[in-house]
Amino acid sequence: MSEIVCPVCGTNDAARRLWDLRDRLYPLDGLFPLSRCARCGLAYLDPPPDRATLSRHYPDTYYGPPSEADPFCYRWRCREIESVVPKGRLLDVGCGNGGFLAHMARRGWEVEGMDVSPRAVEVARSALGDRVRRAEWLDEAGFSQRHYDVVTLFEVLEHASDPRSYLIETHRLLKPGGLCFISVPNFSSWERLLFGPRWCGLDAPRHLFQFTPSTLRTLLARAGFVDIHIRAVNAREIQVRKNRFSYARDSLRHWLRDLGLYPPLTAPLLKEAPVPTPPRRSVLKTILQSAESIPTAVLWGIGRLAGRDNTLWVRAGRHADS
């Protein structure tokens, strides 16, 4: 029996083990089993890592500094939001270093944010002051109910230990008629189907859940949302320092590393000085990086044409009369 009660269909006795995953971003020991609910298709780490384990996989280096210039993804998100809500009050859940909030504040929005990382909140407050709060859970942050025109959760739900509770609380925070905007990795993407356990969107153990359009739509509806629109987009539109080939490129490199054909990642968590890369490996890496552009471009094109790119973009609303 699964240790997780599926937040979509409520069962804990129909999980099927997919793969044992490891952290490919930081060189830490441990395997994290990924299972999939046989009834609704939601995938999740089972058993979930405990808090002490997770804290080791979220070092300060995980939260980068704010970008000096507004990146493309800030402008893309803003354009999507302002196409339906020109201005108003915006809450960014999982705001990280506050870069997107600062961008929206400059455009005339009233902004607030929340994150679980003390380091990220410290950086965000340097620009936004007490408009950014730190909390472990959204319902503990003390935000006003029925107060916001827009609530955003960009690359957040997959990290949440209880995504259903996050969505229920998000629904409460919205004004009647308010909108929520969400992004998560697309577990039904072409790249995930191709690369399987080497798909970089799995990002174990930080990503506790993996969503498809169907499971995400069901979860949103059960949290009270209406007018749910979901489409596949590229991570470039959502994440800082990504280009349209990043997911396919990183997944391809994971596969090549497993075959011993690509140099290993450096060890950013180790206190010891990294071992210098031998010249032979540096030449190999240069050759591989030059050669990878063609297959990653092809993979991106297939996913785009099939409407199964690597990220899900969601717009969902609170009923105007609720």
pLDDT tens for 204-251 read: 999 999 999 999 999 999 999 999 999 999 999 999 989 999 999 999
For residue 16, report the phi and psi dihedrals to the nearest 5 degrees.
-120, 125
DSSP-assigned beta bridge partners for residue 95: none
Residue 1 domain-assigned (yes or no)? no
**Domain end marker among 45, 60, 75:** 60
Statement to judge: residues 218 and 250 lie in one domain: no
Statement to judge: residues 218 and 145 lie in one domain: yes
Statement to judge: residues 198 and 159 lie in one domain: yes
Cα separation, 109 vs 118, in Å, equals: 24
**Domain end marker among 60, 90, 113:** 60
Statement to judge: residues 230 and 87 lie in one domain: yes
CA dihedral 307, 308, 313, 314 (to 10 degrees): 80
Residue 194 domain-assigned (yes or no)? yes
Statement to judge: residues 129 and 209 lie in one domain: yes
| pLDDT above 50: residue 151 | yes
Lowest-pLDDT range of 112-121, 179-188, 253-262, 274-283: 274-283
Statement to judge: residues 38 and 104 lie in one domain: no
Residue 28's domain spans which residues?
A: 15-60
CA 236 from centroid of its chain's CA atoms: 12
Sheet order of strands, 110-115 included: 132-134, 110-115, 89-93, 148-154, 174-185, 311-317, 226-233
Cα separation, 76 vs 104, in Å, equals: 12
Statement to judge: residues 89 and 195 lie in one domain: yes
Statement to judge: residues 284 and 212 lie in one domain: no
Lowest-pLDDT range of 118-122, 263-267, 309-313, 314-318: 263-267
Angle at 157 between CA 3 and CA 319, to 5 degrees: 115
Q: What is the pLDDT of residue 272?
A: 41
Query: What H or E segment, with its residue span, contains residue 7?
Result: none
Statement to judge: residues 224 and 163 lie in one domain: yes
Q: What is the pLDDT of residue 142?
A: 94
The DSSP string of 254-322 is: HHHHHTT-SPPPP-TT-SSPPPPPPHHHHHHHHHHHHHTHHHHHHHHHHHHHTT--SEEEEEEE--TT-
pLDDT band per the 50, 70, 90 thresholds, residue 262: confident
Statement to judge: residues 131 and 78 lie in one domain: yes
Cα separation, 267 vs 205, in Å, equals: 17
pLDDT tens string 45-54:
999 999 899 9
CA 45 from centroid of its chain's CA atoms: 15
Number of domains in the chain: 3
The DSSP string of 54-91 is: HHHTS-GGGSPPPPSS--HHHHHHHHHHHTT--S-EEE
pLDDT tens string 20-47:
999 999 888 899 999 999 999 999 999 9
List the CATH number of the domain containing 234: 3.40.50.150
Statement to judge: residues 25 and 70 lie in one domain: no
Lowest-pLDDT range of 27-36, 162-171, 261-270, 296-305: 261-270
| pLDDT above 70: residue 277 | no
